[in-house]
Amino acid sequence: MLLHVLLASAFHLLAVSAATINLDWNITWVLANPDGLQERPVIGINGQWPPPVLNFTKDDRIVANVYNGLGNESTSIHWHGMYQNGTNYMDGAPGVTQCQIAPGATMIYNFTLDQTGTYWYHSHTRGQYPDGLRQALLIEDPMNPYAGQYDVSHVITLSDWYHEQMPTLLGRFLAKTNPTGAEPVPKAALMNDTQNLTLSVESGKTYLFHLVNIGAFATQYFWIEDHTMKIVEVDGIWTEAVETSIIQISSAQRYSVLVTMKNDTTSLNPNVTGWLVYNKAAENPAPTDLTKFNPYDDFNLLPMDGLGIFPDADYTVTLDLTMNNLGDGANYAFFNGISYTTPVVPTLYSVLSSGVGASNPLVYGTYTNPHVLNKDSIVDIVLNNDDKGKHPFHLHGHAFQVIYRSDQDAGHFDPGNHSAYPNTPMRRDTVAIRPGGNFVLRFKADNPGIWLFHCHIQWHMDAGLAATMIEAPFDIQKKLSIPENHYQVCNASGTQISGNAAGNKENFLDLTGEPEQVANLPKGFTARGIVALVFSCLAAIVGLVSIFW
């Protein structure tokens, strides 16, 4: 009885301390010139760019009224790293958990923050966030295990930056004139959306830096000259502190580090500046940089909560990653030969309208790469990278355990021949796979919802490098009800809210008319054939120009 009363009052206290934060956002175009080289239109919030850094406390409720004032583009907001446990429809992925927010429409995102650490928010509308709609989001932990070990905390975002807008760049990237799929090369690297970040520090004091890579493409390397850092958090998971002099941060990854400033200031520049080096172009990717910079290997991080490895998997999703040309000559990205193509009906709404058929992956179409997961099953994602590039993979709705990661060029994962899995694996929500290598991720399907698994390099995502996890579909049907506002958002964009991936409401197994990936190359043609063709066309044009000159 006494215990009951105590518990009740404890909950009462919690309820009192948790705040509701109302955000009224008008998403519009504004002009900005973060690298000092070129002013350009960017996507801002309430007339401002960079968008606001959000700093909340665990258990706060966020109610964000997101008005699309862009006029000429749809939008959406994904709260990267939030489990959205019980609120899958607030995840922010158009075509997956919601409809696009059309110009003039308002979407209300309303959910509680029951996690802590360093996150970010960004548009999940095709190609959009590198045009500026992305920023850090922090959730303070009232039980912070490192409280008292630092004096001040700061956010530092890292990003690549383009001068042209994404629709233009995407048009050029996914084109037959770019048959090898060379990614557009960024024009600059930004630290906290500027190239002139200076931060005054006091000697002897310890700082906690929340580092977030909010970029589209480049991996960033972060170090502070003459100082060591202690990693204490990775993607929202507190870790045992480990010392390092340099950290490698792929697109969408986050770290918190403690840095103690020196006592002896006589020889010290009181300004601390982090140096950014970005892996300048696709043709020269990270592997050589890796050995050169020798950053801390995140595989070795230990979650502070000591959560042990989940039992052996009940279900394994094996995905082979390739990049290749389709019949239009452009270079696409594939899991098992499938390039993600947005369905007519957002997948969550297909679950809700398909009744007993919801556990049949056929309902969700071929091109969403669907995998139906049973409630509470243990799932392994085995990814084999048959591509020569490095890719950072993000799973929505979970922090997964990284139980195996091969070296570069190790080929496919061999379940009968691998080093022992760690007892306490590192957990995070975004992890990079090495060129030609593989990794194995493990999680428990204890979060009913539709969760996208995709490469966080925006170019590859837009080239189709995504798969859909349909987790506990019957629990979704029982427990989730979509707010009326979300259906209004669908209405404004003219999107159907029931039916299978093809929009068929009568027969959920009839996928006639489903959006398909671009057709294959005609028989007899190879990608090389097309490349040769393009090159010879180019040569002809060059020839003509030379003659003219």
- For β-strands 254-260 and 229-234, DSSP reports them as antiparallel
Residue 337 vs 513, nearer CB to Cu ion: 337
Residues 6+ apart with CB under 8 A from 143: none
CB of 295 to ligand NAG, least distance (A): 21
Please tell me whether residue 165 binds ligand NAG under the rule CB under 6 A: yes
Region of 63-71, 299-307, 318-326, 346-354 interacting with ligand NAG (CB under 6 A):
63-71
Residue 327 vs 483, nearer CB to ligand NAG: 483
CB of 376 to ligand NAG, least distance (A): 8
Q: How far apart are CA 308 and CA 426, in angstroms?
A: 10
Binding ligand NAG by CB under 6 A: which of 128, 447, 468, 504? 447
Residue 203 vs 536, nearer CB to ligand NAG: 203
Give me the residues that bind Cu ion (CB under 5 A), please.
391, 455, 457, 460
Please tell me whether residue 83 binds ligand NAG under the rule CB under 6 A: yes
Residue 144 vs 368, nearer CB to ligand NAG: 144
Please tell me whether residue 155 binds ligand NAG under the rule CB under 6 A: yes
Contact 108, 64 (CB under 8 A): yes
**Measured CA distances, 156 to 209, 277, 466, 493 (Å):** 7, 15, 28, 36
Sign (positive/negative) of CA torsion 110, 113, 118, 124?
A: negative
Residue 197 vs 531, nearer CB to ligand NAG: 197
Based on C-alpha coordinates, what's the Rg of the chain?
24
Region of 88-96, 153-161, 230-238, 247-255 interacting with ligand NAG (CB under 6 A):
153-161
Q: How far apart are CA 398 and CA 308, in angstroms?
A: 16
Residue 38 vs 322, nearer CB to Cu ion: 322
CB of 535 to ligand NAG, least distance (A): 31
Residue 363: contacted member of Cu ion, ligand NAG, none (CB under 5 to 8 Å, by partner type): none
CB of 337 to ligand NAG, least distance (A): 25
**Measured CA distances, 502 to 34, 347, 348, 355, 516 (Å):** 43, 11, 14, 16, 10
Residues 6+ apart with CB under 8 A from 254: 81, 117, 118, 119, 120, 210, 211, 212, 213, 233, 234, 235, 236
Binding ligand NAG by CB under 6 A: which of 266, 267, 291, 417? 417
**φ, ψ (nearest 5 deg) of residue 455:** -70, 140
CB of 243 to ligand NAG, least distance (A): 13
Region of 67-75, 119-127, 290-298, 499-507 interacting with ligand NAG (CB under 6 A):
67-75
CB of 333 to Cu ion, least distance (A): 7
Residue 116 vs 368, nearer CB to ligand NAG: 116
Q: How far apart are CA 328 and CA 196, in angstroms?
A: 43
* 287 residue type, one letter: P
Residue 192: contacted member of Cu ion, ligand NAG, none (CB under 5 to 8 Å, by partner type): ligand NAG
Residues 6+ apart with CB under 8 A from 403: 309, 380, 421, 422, 425, 440, 441, 442
Residues 6+ apart with CB under 8 A from 442: 309, 310, 313, 378, 379, 380, 381, 400, 401, 403, 425
Binding ligand NAG by CB under 6 A: which of 54, 64, 66, 67? 67
Lookup: tokens for 97: 């958990």
Residues of span 22-61 touching ligand NAG by CB under 6 A: 26, 28-29, 35-36, 41, 47, 50, 53, 55, 57
Q: Which residues bind ligand NAG (CB under 6 A)?
A: 26, 28-29, 35-36, 41, 47, 50, 53, 55, 57, 63, 67, 69, 72-73, 83, 85, 108, 110, 138, 140, 153-156, 165, 167, 192, 194-199, 204, 260, 262-263, 269-271, 398, 417, 446-447, 491, 494
